[in-house]
A and B are shown apart, each in its own frame.
Chain A
């Protein structure tokens, strides 16, 4: 049985990765920090439900997803509040000056994707999960992982080739 101290140490070790994932998912550094803080609080409250520390990264992302979906629902109707320029200028995004515009276009395209498309691109491309691990984390069949990923990449490509529409991709 995991002790509370072991849980806390493992949790702290996951925070840099969770925070990075949150920024990429939310497209907004301030919102991401709120989500991570709320995730820490919820994880500490519900630590007894985690049976195996090996599952901690996925468990934390699940908590963060749920909190983010709640937040999206709260904000729906008020429009997207993602500040791409703010994110592109973020000092921690180590972007060469010559790449600045390309990066901003890329961030704009990623942020214009639907939540589910952004999520699957990040789980594959940033978190390096395989299709089976993603299917388990999202409770969807592997076939759906593959078709959703194909659609997400296709949409991102289309947006990079054409100029990005400001309206959110909802499908």
Chain B
């Protein structure tokens, strides 16, 4: 993962930042005492870290422009904030049900199929999850499977997309959606491009669809158990491969 930088290099910086546990920190100190060149490097990196703080830290004392204070204090609550999320959800559901009722005779799509796409895209861009699980190198994958299964109240696994060049970067959990909890798996490729898989329990109807939305390729895949929305800046063919691997990986 770290290319030409071995584990020792990351360990060196973890030592500088006080991120090593006591045993590893002690082992590193022993190594440091025996290696003047390494000690010199650590000292130089420490000096740079100190310099960064010394140069920029005083900027916090600058007075805040009056116009910013006026902007903040003069603002009114956004219209949406006056409604609770539950109310917004109820209204959205009512509208969707109405539309679906009118269109039922010509559509086989479930009434809330559009809602999960919006929820997934909102989550991807700016929603605040109730919990974020950071991914640790070498961690037991079953731990992530367990957290995901608990979040969506269904036995699922975190799909491995490594075969297609994407590695798991983070898991975000959301509570309180209409069908219970939701989870968003964030993957990145070697160029740090993001591919997201949003999953929650299904509202029943099966669906498979692929389309463009907000400049992203989106795939909705739903069966009786799970609803998933996958999104990424990828081609149609690449989405097909990613979606297949992700969907089968979830339930294998």
Contact = CB atoms under 8 A, between A and B. Distances in A.
A125 interface: yes
A124 B17 contact: yes
Interface string A153-171: 1101100100000000000
Given A20-B57, A153-B13, 6 more contacts: A4-B77, A16-B64, A92-B58, A93-B56, A125-B53, A153-B45
A23 B126 contact: no
Contacts of B14: 131, 146
Interface residues of B, number: 58
Contact of B72 (A24, A40, A62): A40
26 contacts: A4-B77, A4-B81, A8-B75, A15-B68, A16-B62, A16-B64, A37-B71, A40-B71, A47-B78, A48-B80, A49-B127, A93-B56, A125-B49, A125-B52, A131-B19, A135-B135, A141-B136, A141-B167, A141-B170, A142-B136, A144-B169, A146-B13, A147-B3, A147-B5, A153-B45, A153-B49
Interface in B120-136: 126-128, 130, 132, 134-136
Contact of A93 (B51, B55, B77): B55
Interface in B162-203: 167-170, 186, 188, 192, 194
B48 A153 contact: yes
Interface string A6-33: 0010011001110110011000000001
A20 B137 contact: no
Contacts of A122: 52, 56
A140 B72 contact: no
A139 B134 CA distance: 8
Contact of A12 (B55, B72, B135): B72
Interface residues of A, number: 63
Given A4-B77, A11-B72, A150 B58 contact: no
A146 B10 contact: yes
Interface string B40-78: 000011001101110111111110110111011101111
A157 B137 contact: no
Contacts of B62: 16, 19-20, 92
Contact of A150 (B2, B44, B73): B2
Contacts of A101: none
B52 A48 contact: no
B9 interface: yes
A24 B77 contact: no
Interface of B: 1-3, 5, 9-10, 12-14, 17, 19, 44-45, 48-49, 51-53, 55-62, 64-65, 67-69, 71-73, 75-78, 80-81, 84, 126-128, 130, 132, 134-137, 167-170, 186, 188, 192, 194
Kindly list the 10 A-B residue pairs having the minimum CB-CB distance in the complex, ordered from nearest.
A147-B2, A143-B137, A135-B134, A4-B77, A20-B59, A146-B10, A48-B81, A141-B135, A125-B52, A136-B132
A140 B188 contact: yes
Contacts of B136: 141-143
B56 A23 contact: yes
Max chain A C-beta neighbours (<10 A), residue from B52, B65, B186, B192: B52
Nearest to B188: A140
A123 to B, nearest CB: 11
A24 B60 CA distance: 11
A46 interface: yes
Nearest to A19: B62
B192 to A, nearest CB: 7
B57 A126 contact: yes
Contacts of B126: 46, 49, 62
A103 interface: yes
